[in-house]
A and B are shown apart, each in its own frame.
Chain A
Amino acid sequence: EIVLTQSPGTLSLSPGERATLSCRASQSVGRNYLAWYQQKPGQAPRLLISDASSRATGIADRFSGSGSGTDFTLTISRLEPEDSAVYLCQQYADAPINFGGGTKVEIK
């Protein structure tokens, strides 16, 4: 079973700043089947990135994903107030599907 660890737990930044979120896997994620989701309070997760770096339809280009193997990164290049949310990573290479614990991004 692949365990995902996200860091930091909380990120507090100002609008326009760059956010860098980390997701580390306990073993290599095959075919880089790693996704990132955004979840706002009271809402379902929203897919941002699949296959580690492919932006989902309709997602702003300030969101980008990178990484391979066991280390993956979600970057938000210029934070907007609406980016305040919890960001989750998920591996979908091997059963069982697992999610990370999330990084909360707060906008000052």
Chain B
Amino acid sequence: QVQLVQSGAEVKKPGASVKVSCKASGYTFTTYAMHWVRQAPGQRLEWMGWIDAANGDPKYSQNFQDRVTITRDTSATTAYMELSSLTSEDTAMYYCARGEQWLMRYWGQGTLVTVSS
């Protein structure tokens, strides 16, 4: 069965960076894209970007263009999302989701990132 297992919760100081991983199993990793979506407390889900797992080509939301980097390691069947220059507004649950193009059928369990001084 398809599983996406994300790395554990993180606490970061303002200005720092965070890197979240998403380990995929149960399917051919390079067949599907991987999206990253976040949900801040009381806010709607916000799409951050995605990566074509076959060729490693990322696409980013304009809202995060300057601060987010999405990569993947095909040998490890793992995708990564790194967000830099963190502020308190980046405190959120971060999800990876397997993409059939833009449709997200399977989701990771989420990684809570807390930004606090």
Partners in one complex: yes
Residues of A within 8 A of B102 (CB): 33, 92-93, 95, 97
Chain A contacts to B: CB under 8 angstroms: 33, 35, 44-47, 50, 56, 88, 90, 92-93, 95-102
Min Cβ gap B35→A in Å is 8
Chain B neighbourhood of A56, CB < 8 A: 105
Assess whether A35 is in contact with B103, with CB atoms less than 8 Å apart: yes
Which stretch, B72-80, B84-92, B107-115, touches the partner chain A? B107-115
Residue from B46, B101, B107 with most neighbouring chain A CB atoms (10 Å):
B107
Cβ of B11 within 8 Å of any chain A Cβ, yes or no, is: no
The interface residues of chain B lying within 8 Å CB-to-CB of A92 are 101-104
**Is chain A's interface secondary structure helix, strand, loop, or mixed overall?**
loop
Q: A97 with B44: in contact, given A47-B104, A92-B101 (CB under 8 Å)?
A: no
Q: What distance in Å separates the Cβ of A3 from its nearest Cβ neighbour in chain B?
A: 11
Neighbouring B residues of A93 by C-beta, 8 Å? 102
Interface residues of B (CB under 8 A from A): 35, 44-47, 59, 61-63, 95, 97, 101-110
Contacts of A90 in B (CB 8 A): 45, 104
Q: Which of the listed residues A33, A96, A97, A99 has the most CB atoms from chain B within 10 Å of its own CB? A: A97
B110: contacting residue among A35, A44, A47, A95, CB under 8 A: A44
Given A33-B103, A92-B103, A96-B61, also A44-B109 (CB < 8 A): yes
Q: Are B47 and A98 closer than 8 Å at their CB atoms?
A: yes
Chain A residue with minimal CB distance to B95?
Answer: A44
Contacts of B103 in A (CB 8 A): 33, 35, 47, 50, 92
Q: Which residues of A contact B44 (CB under 8 A)?
A: 88, 99-102
> What is the bound-complex CA distance between A88 and B61, given in angstroms?
20
